Structure 1
């Protein structure tokens, strides 16, 4: 096991958290020795205003999981249907919409149907666009820029222009948006509804306390924010829950947040709303779940270094695990474990080589290392295996796991895996 807990104790790549973001070194003190290194790195990232935790989101969350029969194939067995040239430096990315797709570059967003016919096109100028997808909605923002644009399959829905640099943002499956904005002398938390109307604005100016992650509930009513408190001897992570509307806030004891969970000695750079009505919080050495009453439902201590995490269908997450912590018995290094929102392991796969890519979709999880890629279902079954002949930076699963977009530095291949 890569983690342990009680019987009921839990859970568009490294789209979600890239390799190295949670990479810690073992020390004689085991897990505790890893905490300081990552915490210090996280603080540095925040101070310099970097956005290494921005999601393409990064998070692929869908309504249902469609199981697919497992099979394997080689490159020779993959049917290449269409190839698209990608201009070097275009910062291109793709988001699947069933058998259609969104194509995002630094010059704009285009939507293509199943026949690769362009349906619409919106232009802009961004030096480094970052995408976050949830269901039918995709948000595009300039890394450290001041604009966030929301799209669905019909076109652009709204644009917001916060008065500070975008540090991180997330969306729900209704098109509501939450963002952390760097605004001197501190940070701001902003929440917009599905039409782009500002619902909530919160100023964060406490010295040594940094907001590093956030997500919003499916109905847009509750916001979860992960803070890193560096004011004490040991780092403390605090997850606070807020109501996003003023009427609900009036009924809270503080008139501000209505609940909080604290974890000493860990950093929690990922918070995600799950389909069962809870927030999953992923830390460098711990995973836990918080319900909408801000009660901790379960907690799991990790026994291996966490190299990456990908959220898939709203019911599962996939953890890419590295070496065991000193003094702990975990799984083999380079193993992926698939965890459901109740904290149970539903599948496991030993990659055998260092994992440098992980991404999750409605119909499966894709992991990669050394140009070798494997697609798993949410029970850990192999749906296909693939060895690339060039550097692949992304693999998008479309309407089923056999239809993929293989994205390289200079081209994208639309392939059917036989």
Structure 2
């Protein structure tokens, strides 16, 4: 009689309640996810904490991380543009990459070069001369010859250039395309409008803002006019869509902040305008102190003010809505001031001071180079410094 083979398999009866099994499965998955996420979160917090610790400290020394020598050009000026640096002087314009290597050279005769920079286009003009050169990152886009001496220029993101042309009896404001064709010509009547002292263009080239100065009896007055060269402005006389007068102040600087805001700066106040087609006054802020210098980005409006109560100066920073972000005293004077990201960078010769938008003094000291241009480099506390000896990458230390 044959015997039945025993197997190792058992017949299991299904549990009466499947919810308990589902609960255990979910619990197992949660534990597994936690085992993965907790270390990642801890690493992320550690990295963020380290970054904040390094970024919010005060440093007093700068060391060189790398150096890219270049030819000595004491008479050159520099401007940050796109992914490189523009060097311009009386002999022309050169575009350098971030290793101080020449990408292209444009020769020109410019007795007193001035520059206007947008994100993707910049223009260099001969102040008092008749030449305007328009560039992109790839090189020369066009050349403009004017009939009257150039006093100021502004460029749009499309390469349209507007210039104030000097004429004692009746100055002109003319807009050109990049190859020199006249798009719009404004004949300024000084007896009714005043003398133009400031111009700026919107990025799309549709809006031109101009500041005029005139005398009314014994007082100085300013007039700010917005011209619209698009469809909205075609319906208006002389394309004027907005005009405001200001008493006892010189509105001598205008700039745009993004697509919908622009700022007009006087000697003791600033005014924020809002609107794409018809800019309207949104906020006027009187500073109550003398403005020594102005700087800006798409996010911030900054001023160095003369401190009348104490000897010295104050740094004031506002956001694009006109709300004050920081106000703090600064020691010493600096001939150059700019904002790069969330940092205000002041420099004069080899002296440099960096203050964050949170009001923290990040650096104050000597960087052992006569600074011609400085801006942030990739990495924590690293900066590009252009001097007559070349380009250096520095990092801040205690």
Please, what TM-score do these two structures have when normalized by structure 1? Answer: 0.73
Q: Contact conserved, 2:125 with 2:131, CA < 8 A, in 1?
A: yes
Counterpart Cα distance in 1 of 2:360 and 2:62: 22
Whichever of the two has the greater Rg, that structure is 2
Counterpart Cα distance in 2 of 1:331 and 1:338: 19
1:103–1:258 Cα change, 3 Å: same
Residue 163 of structure 1, CA deviation: 1.0
1:95–1:371 Cα change, 3 Å: closer
- Structure 2 gap ranges (5+): 1-51
Q: Contact conserved, 1:199 with 1:244, CA < 8 A, in 2?
A: no
In structure 2, the partner of 1:84 is: 70
In structure 1, the partner of 2:100 is: 116
Q: Contact conserved, 1:310 with 1:359, CA < 8 A, in 2?
A: yes
Q: Contact conserved, 2:99 with 2:391, CA < 8 A, in 1?
A: no
- Structure 1 gap ranges (5+): 1-66, 325-329
**Aligned ranges 1:272-291 → 2 under 5 Å:** 272-275=255-258, 277-291=260-274
In structure 2, the partner of 1:342 is: 321
**Aligned ranges 1:219-298 → 2 under 5 Å:** 219-245=204-230, 248-252=232-236, 254-275=237-258, 277-292=260-275, 293-298=278-283
1:105–1:121 Cα change, 3 Å: same
2:304 is equivalent to residue 320 of structure 1:
yes
Q: Contact conserved, 2:270 with 2:285, CA < 8 A, in 1?
A: yes
Counterpart Cα distance in 2 of 1:99 and 1:295: 34
Structure with more helix by fraction: 2
In structure 1, the partner of 2:32 is: none
Q: Contact conserved, 1:243 with 1:249, CA < 8 A, in 2?
A: yes
Q: Contact conserved, 1:106 with 1:128, CA < 8 A, in 2?
A: yes
Residue 267 of structure 1, CA deviation: 0.5
Residue 377 of structure 1, CA deviation: 3.4
Counterpart Cα distance in 1 of 2:195 and 2:55: 45
1:304 partner SS: coil
In structure 2, the partner of 1:36 is: none
Counterpart Cα distance in 2 of 1:278 and 1:151: 25
- Provide the aligned length of Structure 1 versus Structure 2: 340
Between 78-87 and 198-207, report the one with greater CA deviation: 78-87
In structure 2, the partner of 1:145 is: 129
Please, what TM-score do these two structures have when normalized by structure 2? Answer: 0.77
1:371–1:414 Cα change, 3 Å: closer
In structure 1, the partner of 2:119 is: 135
Counterpart Cα distance in 2 of 1:415 and 1:395: 10
Match of 1:158 among 130, 136, 142: 142
**Aligned ranges 1:32-71 → 2 under 5 Å:** 69-71=55-57
Match of 2:335 among 332, 339, 356: 356
Residue 403 of structure 1, CA deviation: 2.5
Residue 143 of structure 1, CA deviation: 1.8
2:290 is equivalent to residue 310 of structure 1:
no
In structure 1, the partner of 2:10 is: none
Q: Over aligned residues, Cα RMSD in angstroms? A: 2.7
1:266–1:187 Cα change, 3 Å: same
Counterpart Cα distance in 1 of 2:116 and 2:364: 27
Between 363-372 and 169-178, report the one with greater CA deviation: 363-372
